[in-house]
Amino acid sequence: MPQACYCLSVNPQKFFMTLKSGRTRPPARGFTLIELVIVITIIGILAAVALPRLIDAQRDARIAKANAIYGSIRSAVALARSRCELDLAGTAPSVTSVTCASTPPKVNMDGTMIDIVNRYPAATAAGVDSAAALNLAADGLTGTGTGSTRTLDVAGGTVPNCRITYQEATLTGGLIAAPVISVVTTGC
């Protein structure tokens, strides 16, 4: 099948401006100063509107991260407590010889041994951090602990106003008081 060729004739006189001297020059290319000023003004206005929203988005992300880690710790604590109760009752044998009935008590959570204090995870990296499967470096957290308290600060937030705190369970007169888990997001 033959291919058709379409040709368009162009009058070069239409594309050039004629000067008073009779010479022709190509049309000017580029932007005028007023066009550039208008574009820069529009970009400045968009930046002024978008920048506060970007900052708010970062704050919202840190708050969401803190709340997600808080929920993760709560769930992990409940699962560790359940595993400990099963170990103590002997109704569902553990796959390891070290259990919540051992000294020191530990529970197996998906192949990771978790340190236990008063049937709940200890306030340590080998306790609550491991139970919640936290990777401090990858999760953007800084963990500190003193005694029976574990504190996780969210990177980018204002310390101490963007953190999750875990106080391990206590034993008072034979009664176990559940751990206290709190989240503060006022400085995220």
Residue-wise pLDDT for 136-161, tens only, equals: 999 999 999 888 999 999 999 888 99
pLDDT of amino acid 101: 87
In angstroms, the Cα distances linking 166 to 2, 11, 123, 130, 131 are 81, 82, 7, 13, 12
pLDDT of amino acid 57: 86
pLDDT in tens, 37-46: 999 999 999 8
Residue in this structure with the two tokens 């751990």, named with its chain if needed: 179
pLDDT of amino acid 153: 95
Tokens found for residue 39 = 């574009």
CA neighbours within 13 Å on the CB side: how many for 63? 10
pLDDT of amino acid 48: 86
pLDDT of amino acid 56: 82
Segments of the chain with pLDDT less than 50: none
Give 157's contacts (C-beta < 8 A, 6+ positions apart): 62, 66, 163, 187, 188
Residue in this structure with the two tokens 């990296």, named with its chain if needed: 125
In angstroms, the Cα distances linking 111 to 98, 126, 130, 169, 185 are 12, 13, 11, 23, 33
Q: Which spans in the chain are helix H?
A: 33-89, 130-131, 136-139
